[in-house]
Amino acid sequence: MSLDAMPLKPFKTLRSKTLVLAAQDIDTDQIIPARFLTTTSSAGLGQYAFYDWRFDETGQPRNSDPLAGKDPQAHRILVGGANFGCGSSREHAPWALKDYGFAVIISSRIADIFKSNALKNGLLPIEVEAGIHTDLLDNPGCELVVDLEACTLSRPGHWTHTFSIEPFGRRCLLEGVDPLAFLQKCEADIARFEARHA
């Protein structure tokens, strides 16, 4: 099998509405509760995204949560409160969000491991400054345009913001570069390192 097997679908631009979850410190146990981590596959986890927010103790929809009644395909940009994705390293969190329908996560601060996991799964994490963040929190459902090539986030008719993103992660998303294939191409260096430290 080729080294470049299973690249991500490239991501260039997206125009969609936001879904706002304003709480700070939304942790990975909220994004997907641990009891749903017993799976051995990464597919189909969207049904468990924010499960305990969406369903009550008896499994009935609460219909009072911020996700209720919102068509996931029309709200592909999640705006979260500060420190989004804190907590565990479970990659099930981005898997669940991606499968639910999200393509972009925006916050003033996104937790390190979550950010790294998200990028590896074609879920674009964007950190924005406080002013933009406040505007987004105050205007749930507004339409945004994300342009990864230009690294811009705009709210048409209002503002355009340039965001920064780790360049390698950006390239992986834009070009569908596979990081594992990249690492495998470092084989000669790895072997040299191992020989030196044997």
Partner 1 sequence: MSPDPAPQTLLDKIWERHLVRPQSEDAPAVLYIDRHLVHEVTSPQAFAALKARGLRLRRPERTFATMDHSTPTVPFAAHEQPPYASEETRKQVAALEENCSAFGITLHGWDSPHRGVVHVMAPELGLTLPGMTVVCGDSHTATHGAFGALAFGIGTTEVGHVLATQCLLQRKPKALRVTITGRLHAGVSAKDMALCVMAALGAGGGAGHVIEYAGEAVRALNMEERMTLCNMSIEAGARAGMVAPDRVTFAWLKDRPHAPRGEAWEAALEDWRTLHSDEGAQFDKEITLNARLMAPMITYGLSPDKAMAVDSITPQPCSALEREALAYMGFTPGRPVMGEKVDVVFVGSCTNGRLSDLRAAARILRGHKVAEGVRMLVAPGSEAVRRAAEAEGLDEIFKAAGAEWRLPGCSMCIAMNGDMAQPGELVVSTSNRNFAGRQGKGARTVLASPATAAASAVWGEIADPRAFMEVPCVA
Which residues contribute to the site for partner 1 (CB under 8 A)?
1, 3, 5-6, 22-25, 27, 29-30, 33-35, 37-42, 52, 57, 81-83, 86-91, 109, 111-113, 116-117, 120-121, 166-168, 171, 179-180, 182-184, 186-187, 189-190, 193-194, 197
CB of 97 to partner 1, least distance (A): 13
Q: Is 194 helix (H, G, I), strand (E, B) or coil?
A: helix
Q: Using CA atoms, how far apart are residues 185 and 128, in angstroms rounded to an integer?
A: 34
**Distance spanning both ends of the chain, measured CA to CA:** 30
Among residues 18 and 83, whose Cβ is nearest to partner 1?
Answer: 83
List C-alpha distances in Å: 36 to 33, 105, 175, 186.
6, 22, 32, 36
CB of 44 to partner 1, least distance (A): 12
CB of 112 to partner 1, least distance (A): 6
Among residues 32 and 144, whose Cβ is nearest to partner 1?
Answer: 32
CB of 15 to partner 1, least distance (A): 28
Among residues 96 and 144, whose Cβ is nearest to partner 1?
Answer: 96
* Exposure of 9 in the CB half-sphere (CA atoms within 13 A): 4
Q: Are 78 and 52 in contact (CB under 8 A)?
A: no
Scan for tokens 């790895």, then name that residue: 190
* Exposure of 197 in the CB half-sphere (CA atoms within 13 A): 6
Among residues 116 and 152, whose Cβ is nearest to partner 1?
Answer: 116
CB of 113 to partner 1, least distance (A): 6
